[in-house]
Chains A and B, each alone.
Chain A
């Protein structure tokens, strides 16, 4: 009996170990990738945020100096923070609204749906640098066709990428133009909504807004949440379009004695990821760059956590 008692748990333990080993083996590619490309950089970033490190000489412990510098002595930080949050709130909201709206329109189109799907999806495939340069030329206040047309119509001609009050809206227009990714996933979600629910709602006398509010939205709420969360994370990392638009619009190549203005015009397109590059690779201040990177990570986590915690009040849990 004692033999049986000790043998059975051992066999069970071995079986469990084998199962765990198998599980780990299947997970290992992801674990390795997660460890090397996420966990290690994350730990390094936090570590270097407390170090004085210029990228060339050995790092030395700096305590909270980098954190104090970024938050109190580096005025561009708060400008970049404000711009990034502006883009997160406005750009993400408009992308979701337009993506959903265009998705709904195209699912209802009787003929030519393929053409419209392609037409709205194609801009998403344009490389960000090329698309931004094209927008900068189209919206050039002096020579661009958009302002020429506005002038012909007797409408105001904004400075777009050269005017600090118009540069972020112009970047938002660019982002909304490339709405194809969200349009496709919203279309898939919309086509998945059971038609019986619409029929039942119609029988109950629901109007189009009520059908959208009480049938469509609850069914697609997980996709809306996905779009918002990924949109927030992507926009927190907004870099390429902002820096290309600034460089093209300013016309300045940059060099000794003639630096490119960060966030041209007047810092209005200056975002947190640009700050990471500027501090780390142009000012050789890896420690402060890591502080900004940690802040970015914490903000992304905070946004995501808040959104996911609030999902119960918004999403259809069934």
Chain B
């Protein structure tokens, strides 16, 4: 039935970490063309309700698979493992994270921070990119402990980049 397919099956793409992004997008847009609620305007309320849930599922599946971090967590779960809420991190990783955070705080204090921040962001993104190849390798041999540790690192770096971007912009004002 409707929600028994896993996200990879929905888009008919191979269930791997380095998912075929092009094929994913193509399949996603194809499904949208067929199922978007705009195509169901004349349907009964019952069909509209089910249709909306299905399209919401397609959207969630696409968001999950096209995002590196979310995809790795999802794939880990499909393999039968979950992340821990408060993991004990490797000391080496922990120290590196503290160091990176201190670096960012230092940059923030500088009145002329723009250039340094840009450089810092670039470095962090590079780091994140290199994690991906490690993740791919870990997934291919199914080493769930290694995968988990890499995901924790990935989580940290993603969050750090978010903070960099937030600081780089004028604060979001609501109202």
Task: Answer whether A and B are interacting partners.
Answer: no
